[in-house]
Amino acid sequence: MIKPYGSDTLNPLFVYDEKKRHDLIKEADRLPSLLINSAAAGNAVMLGAGYFNPLKGFMNKADTISVADKMCTTNGLFWPVPIVNLTQDSSGIKNAKRIALRDPNVEGNPVLAIQEVEAIEELKDEQQEFITQKIFRTTDPGHIGASNFLSQGKILVSGPIQVLNFSYFPQEFPDTFRTAVEIRTEIQERGWDKVVAFQTRNPMHRAHEELCKIAKDAVKADGVLIHMLLGQLKAGDIPAPVRDASIRKMVELYFPPNTVMITGYGFDMLYAGPREALLHAIFRQNAGSSHFIIGRDHAGVGDYYGAFDAQAIFDEIPTGALQIEIFRADHTAYSKKLNKVVMMRDVPDHGKDDFVLLSGTKVREMLSAGKDLPPEFSRPEVAKILMGYYQSQAGQS
């Protein structure tokens, strides 16, 4: 199996020793605490789950600026997006050496992790804007990712962490949430060697299904890791439980047995386009995937990125920085001429009218109105699940 990123073995920051974890939970009651934001909570979950190997915790100001600027830490580790604990108010942890990080996404704000405080530093306005511009290629408040980042605060709390739980993800998604450790174990148990990973924050229609099959065949993979984001999204995106149900139905009916793992990870969407694509590749390597599908407008939002910028950025990183290989996918759609799903670049003789193409808006309108989607676009069993969701939303409005 492929090695984790940056080390020979995976080093998750979750405290697996039960006695040690119990002692740390007791210690946390006596420590100054910080109610962190959702983005920092997601970072803690990803660090705990081994997805952000080999990082040991939250980055300081120098590393944050270096990663934003040059895509590497001050000690030369390639890394595309700063992993930070930003806050608007650090008065409650002044002079503290160890602090309890409290979860904003769980009722009662239980302790999520304990952090050793190495530094508390404030970003200047121009530094915050510089970092935002580098990560998102814009500081436009209309960009949901840039807006979220700018709202988190300017105070960086850096240092290593010990993670005590995985927030709400194991409870809300018991069949789907998996750590990088668990995914590697299951890949090994299945006897897979080559694994192609597919990122999704949306339901999967025929084009996505066939893209996974095309990529699996092209790289001669043993299986596909469908790895869905389970954290917070922007308004209008389909909730994780609905996506989960529709993907499971699709895999159950339309993939051969023992060729797909359906899993999810606990992280909020950044909408950082190319930079986020690189981060996605790192944590898929940590989860044991040898290949990763990067498609059109990967991790994008609006018109902030070019259609294939998330593929092009892989040509800009240091040679050998990542072991995982990228499968560069084109826009995929059903060909009326060939009666099958194809990548558009593979059929230069086709015009727009030769494909079954529906915009996201049109899909939502049809499902809300109880109209069936074309079977060439979506499997009927998947469309039925989505229709139920959209009609329930329409009934509430």
Tokens of 328: 């560069």
Considering the candidates 98, 137, 190, 201, report the single residue annotated as catalytic.
201
275 a catalytic residue: no
Q: What order of strands is seen across the sheet that includes strand 291-294?
A: 260-265, 223-229, 195-200, 291-294, 325-328
Tokens of 281: 């590749």
* Three-state SS annotation for the chain: CCCCCCCCCCCCCECCCHHHHHHHHHHHCCCCEEECCHHHHHHHHHHHCCCCCCCCEECCHHHHHHHHHHCECCCCCECCCCCCCEECCCHHHCCCCEEEEECCCCCCCCEEEEEECCEEEECCHHHHHHHHHHHHCCCCCCCHHHHHHHCCCCEEEEEEEEECCCCCHHHHCCCCECCHHHHHHHHHHHCCCCEEEEEECCCCCHHHHHHHHHHHHHHCCCEEEEEEECCCCCCCCCCHHHHHHHHHHHHHHHCCCCCEEEEEECCCCCCCHHHHHHHHHHHHHHCCCCEEEECCCCCCCCCCCCCCHHHHHHHCCCCCCCCCEEEECCCEEEECCCCEEEEHHHCCCCCHHHEECCCHHHHHHHHHCCCCCCCCCCCHHHHHHHHHHHHHHHHHC
Residue 341 in contact with residue 320, Cβ under 8 Å?
A: no
201 a catalytic residue: yes
Considering the candidates 202, 296, 328, 364, report the single residue annotated as catalytic.
202
Q: How far apart are CA 395 and CA 375, in angstroms?
A: 25
Q: How far apart are CA 40 and CA 204, in angstroms?
A: 28
Q: How far apart are CA 227 and CA 202, in angstroms?
A: 11
Residues taking part in catalysis:
201-202
